[in-house]
Amino acid sequence: MTPADPQTIEAILFDKDGTLFDFGATWNAWAKSLLLRLAEGNEARAAALGQVIGFDWAAGVFNADSLVIAGTPDEVVETLSPACPTLSRAELLALINEEAAAAPMAPAVPLAPLLDRLIAAGLRLGVATNDAEAPAFAHLDSAGVRDRFAFIAGSDSGHGAKPEPGQLLAFCSAVGVTPDRALMVGDSTHDLIAGRAAGMRTVAVLTGLAGRAELEPFADLVFPNIGHLADWLGLH
């Protein structure tokens, strides 16, 4: 697929974590809080649970291969559930989503000014995340930008989850744009593979945990962060 011509782009779909928001600042804090809660305050137990989901308790960061980075809450439940036998899967999912909704959000760049520039240029915007829908709404609300998006989908919104293209195709349908005139912007290979599968152009950003070498094979363009989109699109 050839690189996107910015003049042909009519809509942009963003991943949430690691793209709109800095991954580590949000999800490292979430992991600490969730694991301590599950361990009833016992740090040794919390550290052991962290190993199950690829979180280094001592360092306070996720391992690069952690399923949490691009996985869905249901996948986290599937992995954690055997280590939490006193909780049903529904109870564990509720705890995960409750802690996620309360996680501190650190925008990768000042979001409102950037999104307003994109909207002023006539672009339709959306969010597709493998997080659940309720935490996604809470995070966008906390940043004061939920109203900038014409479409918001989580892994439980009925369109599937990335790397499958269902969320992306639903976005294109919702905003009335063909996939070849839309961008998928994300920080993981899941985002970019979904974009390619949907027939969209793909832009990778380096505000998640994946590096350029991992993302470049699946991306038409790689930017340090989403702030570079405006200049590439020729917006002033």
pLDDT at position 7: 84
CB 32 within 8 A of CB 38: no
Is the torsion defined by CA of 103, 109, 113, 116 positive or negative? Answer: negative
Annotated domain spans of the chain = 6-21+106-232, 24-101
pLDDT at position 6: 85
- The domain defined by 6-21+106-232 carries CATH number 3.40.50.1000: yes
pLDDT at position 179: 97
Kind of pairing between the strands at 182-186 and 201-205: parallel
Phi, psi of 221, deg, nearest 5: -145, 150
Supply the pTM of this predicted model.
0.90
pLDDT at position 236: 67
Distance CA 69, CA 27 (A): 9
Measured from the Cβ of residue 185, the count of other Cβ atoms closer than 10 Å reads: 25
CA angle at 97 for the pair 94 and 100, rounded to the nearest 5°:
150
Mean pLDDT per block of 10 residues along the chain (236 residues) reads 75 97 90 96 97 96 91 95 96 95 93 97 97 95 97 97 98 98 97 98 95 96 96 87
Q: Quick one: how far is CA 162 from the chain centroid?
A: 10
